[in-house]
Copies of this chain bind each other. A is one copy, B any other.
């Protein structure tokens, strides 16, 4: 089911991109970024949520493309802001073309997304609710990115603020994809609640796990272990370690390490093994794993409030796959 949906989504995406070709300077970078592929997680969620909500997934196909366009817009603009040189194994749009192009092609992708969304919204019992869910996603993802950027200049980010940030930056677009699917189906409020909560919690667990996996690096993608530690990224782990190191019982070595992380906005490569060891010794890694497990379990409790169906099982499979990535 997932493989067949991915194929249909890729076809619909190709059809959509063929509608937007002139001026080439504006639309080629969009094409370029999509050519690099992607797992199409958000459009799959949208289609499955529609189906699980009792709707015809074909009605949600344009909306599925819309959520992928919105997600890809965030990648294009975030890459400028984060000065990222590579994305999906190729130069980022602002590097391959230039920054102005990446700004403007990102902007028009919001318009393309809305154009696609309208087509599915028209088939929904309450079209405006579909648009509202999309708007919420757009606003929240900008707020999340803003918080993420500001965190880099702060030493006092709280664990709560971290959760708010990943909720907005990562989880809300997954939640939005589910909400749009259910709303196109005209599913019940209970359906909407359980499916969006499921996706949102999976999104939070996924982001925490992503941060955890970064410690091991990903040699296949040329990522060194502890990349986030080198960049000074405020992950749950360093925030938790900072809090634990404020206790009188904390080891001086640990305290020195975490203070150095905040003071210099990141570690040097030589400090990474000691930091990984410290995170293990203080129990932060075990605690993170435990947190990820409990959030994931709570998420599934929401999913299993829905009546059994092939779409529900496919959503479970998708979530398990997301959570069992090892790089």
Give the interface of A toward B (CB within 8 A).
22-23, 25-26, 77, 80-81, 100, 103-104, 106-108, 110-112, 114-115, 118, 121-122, 127-128, 131-132, 134-135, 138-139, 142-143, 145-147, 149-150
Contacts and interface: CB of A to CB of B under 8 A. Distances in A.
Contacts of A100: 80-81, 149
Nearest to A112: B139
Contacts of A145: 104
B107 A142 contact: yes
A128 B22 CA distance: 25
Contacts of A106: 107
Contacts of A112: 139
Given A131-B118, A131-B131, A143 B107 contact: no
A103 B103 contact: yes
Nearest to A100: B81
B128 A118 contact: yes
Given A77-B104, A103-B81, A118 B146 contact: no
Given A114-B131, A122-B128, A132-B118, A142 B104 contact: yes
